Amino acid sequence: MKKFFALILLAALITPLFSSQPIEVSFRNLKLVVHPDSGSFSLHQLSDVGKGRYRALIEDRNASATSWFSVQLDNKVFKLARKSGRSIEAERTDAGARVVFTPTDDFQAIQIFTFIPAPGRVDSAFLKIETIIENTSGKTQTIALKALFDTLLGEASGIHFSTPVKKRISAETRINPALSRDAYISSRSEDASLEIFLDDSSASRPEEVYLANWDRLNTLTWKPDYLEGRSFNSIYSINDSAILFVWPASEIRANKTYENVMILGTDASVIIDAGSTSLAAPNSTTPVGTGLSEPIPLTENERLRQIREILTRIDELQRNPASTTDAELQALNQSLDVLLLNAPR
């Protein structure tokens, strides 16, 4: 059971304030939705290709207000969200979206959302979230970052989360990625999955990760009270889990930046199986949302396998045109063109 009463009240309070249209950017199997008025975002996975339907991977009601990033500046906490007298700048980019927060004169935070093609796949992608915090205070400051994600996929099954080492997480848990062998954490349902890298050559390693009831993680203190094995219930909500990522603090000189990277996707195994967790962003000149597949290193056998898969799918769609859309056919043909152009010479 989610936070029904709190969300209804929140909706009543924020509806008059949040009026700008969301920025929606889709790429392969993912769709990013950014809310310009609040700076919040949600991520969605393609669930029905023929009908273009998506499944939310984190709570997306009420402008995704229950997921957020916060900055700690010399022991003061600033949520990256709308603040009275402070504007938020949000725009679509060639590769995703960009949001700028200026909650105080002491720092500015820029979040850059970039889609990255999954290695060796034409139907899968990752979302890279870069958070760049510039110290504009004029003096050295201690800066840290944390992020709360209101997850929902595992709540129905009772297996709220899993990792490569911990196959079933059904109660409050804390993970120290520096000591753990877990490369990523998963939130899954029968038809969707969200996987977030914890320790990766492309992503910033958190200091700690907390898996607990959302109310217990949505606190004014920088780190929550932790009790191992406690249920995902609280006096306000039942079976309501969330993830809190806390990254280490750094001393940042005036006009210098604190930088953080998160990598989110639906299938981390395509990276792990490739033998490398390093992800490269697509060429910035490639338009996102068209389904165009960027040239990526493939073996000849892999290239031929993907060509066969695409041709088989195109043949299926031609036999049953009602099961597809023009956009999917266009995307498949574009992917096929790229694979054919990359044939060995």
Per-residue pLDDT of the chain (345 residues; tens, 9 = 90+): 445 445 444 444 444 444 489 999 999 999 999 999 999 999 999 998 888 899 999 999 999 999 999 999 989 999 999 887 888 999 999 999 999 999 999 999 999 999 999 988 888 999 999 999 999 999 999 999 999 999 999 999 999 999 998 999 999 999 999 888 889 999 999 999 999 999 767 899 999 999 999 999 999 899 999 999 999 999 999 999 999 999 999 999 999 999 999 999 998 877 655 444 456 554 433 334 433 333 334 567 767 767 777 787 677 667 666 545 555 566 667 677 777 776 765
Q: What letter represents residue 4's amino acid?
A: F
CA angle, 176 then 178 then 183, to 5°: 85
User: CB of 107 within 8 A of CB of 73?
Assistant: yes
Domain boundaries, the chain: 4-272, 300-341
φ and ψ at residue 7, rounded to 5 degrees? -70, -35
332: left (phi over 0), alpha (psi -120 to 50) or beta: alpha
Query: Which positions ≥6 away from 248 have C-beta within 8 Å?
Result: 144, 207
Q: What is the DSSP letter of 14?
A: H
Paired tokens of 87: 């504007």
Output the furthest CA–CA distance in the chain (Å, rounded): 66
Class of domain 4-272: mainly beta
User: CB of 240 within 8 A of CB of 215?
Assistant: yes
Distance CA 78, CA 70 (A): 6
Other beta carbons within 10 angstroms of residue 55's beta carbon come to 19
What does the chain come to in residues? 345
Rounded to two decimals, the pTM is 0.77
